Amino acid sequence: MSSRSTGQVRLRQHATLVPVQAGQVPVSVSVGPHGEAIALWSSTADRETLLGSTLSANGVSRPDSTTRAGVAVQVATYSPQVRSVISVPDLALAHCHVQPLPGGRMLLVGARSRRLAEGAENNAVIVDADGTTVRRGALGDGIEYVQTTRSGRIWVGYFDEGVFGGSDGCPPLGAPGIVRFTSRLAPEWHFPDDGVDPIHDCYALNVTGETAWATYYSDFPVVRIAEDTVRSWPGGRTAARALIVDDTRCALIGGYGEHHDRILVGDLDHGHFRRYRLVLPGGRPLPRRSVVIGRGAELHAFVDTTWLRVSLSDLP
């Protein structure tokens, strides 16, 4: 890859995510298959519970997989104003990803899952439109990304602890790095273990239609998974925390440390990327705490409750 700095890419403010109830704060935010934003809201005290961690005897802090007691949350869908709200009275999963499923259902997935005597701890629930749990399942530990398709398939990308965290000689559910599940929470496809560089840590995932795109550690190729077939390009050969694509045109967003606001734009077949700096409207710096998510050719950024966007077609 070759790249050079050529200026700024400005995000455009799209909307403000309004809380469902006064005094609520956002716990997590994601983007669905139609480009809608989905936000998980709770009270400030419950947010601390839902994002809790436990200090082990050796002094290592590990994110909790569950809460000590279920807490009340609301899941709101925006497009861009509030379109629907689902109230869940007793969510017991911590560090949740939230994605829509067909029929007005919602999928909530905890990022961590303990290894129990009977197998992996359940860390996924599907609720219907009135908040009633209709299914539970285990999607594995170390979940970095969850994106659903319009048909209800569930793509999951795992970070390194989910890939390498097996015990007793039993590989974890996330060992392939990317796994696709059915809407019944059953695994139906996983990233192949031959012919393609293995995934050590899924750094970015973008699901558009029924096709998934990803980039991963260690060499950071860009891969397309279409009809269960993987095609790989060298990509930017550098870390990115989001990507957007249109055919072979691609933008890789973010990186380590000071490169959190870097955006590389180019064509995968040609291998030449131009470097820009992603900024807020008016040229203000993009905060490190911002959440950036790619869906198809659209980049979504969330800074607190501000929802911003930019399309690949708008980039130089």
Tell the residue number behind the tokens 């992996």, with chain if given. Answer: 120
* Domain coordinates in residue numbering, the chain: 5-52+67-314
CA distance 25 to 230: 39
In the three-class reduction of DSSP (H, G, I as helix; E, B as strand; rest coil), residue 191 is classed as coil
Residue 287: CB atoms within 10 Å: 12
Tell the residue number behind the tokens 């947010």, with chain if given. Answer: 47
Which pTM value belongs to this model? 0.96
pLDDT digit string (tens) for the chain, length 316 residues: 444 456 999 999 999 999 999 999 999 999 999 999 999 999 999 999 999 999 988 888 999 999 989 999 999 999 999 999 999 999 999 999 999 999 999 999 999 999 887 778 999 999 999 999 999 999 999 999 999 999 999 999 999 999 998 766 688 999 999 999 999 999 999 999 987 899 999 999 999 999 999 999 999 999 999 999 999 999 988 999 999 999 999 999 999 999 999 999 999 999 889 999 999 999 999 999 999 999 999 999 999 999 999 999 999 9
Q: Residue 256 in contact with residue 241, Cβ under 8 Å?
A: no
Between the alpha carbon of residue 163 and those of residues 7, 144, 167, 214, the distances in Å are 37, 11, 12, 15
Q: What is the pLDDT of residue 2?
A: 43
Q: What is the pLDDT of residue 56?
A: 83
Q: What is the pLDDT of residue 168?
A: 66
Ramachandran area for residue 119 (φ above 0: left; ψ -120 to 50: alpha; else beta): left
Out of 2.120.10.30, 2.30.30.40, 2.30.130.10, 3.10.580.10, the CATH code matching 5-52+67-314 is: 2.120.10.30
Q: Residue 143 in contact with residue 174, Cβ under 8 Å?
A: yes
Q: What is the pLDDT of residue 180?
A: 98
Q: What is the pLDDT of residue 169?
A: 67
Q: What is the pLDDT of residue 143?
A: 98
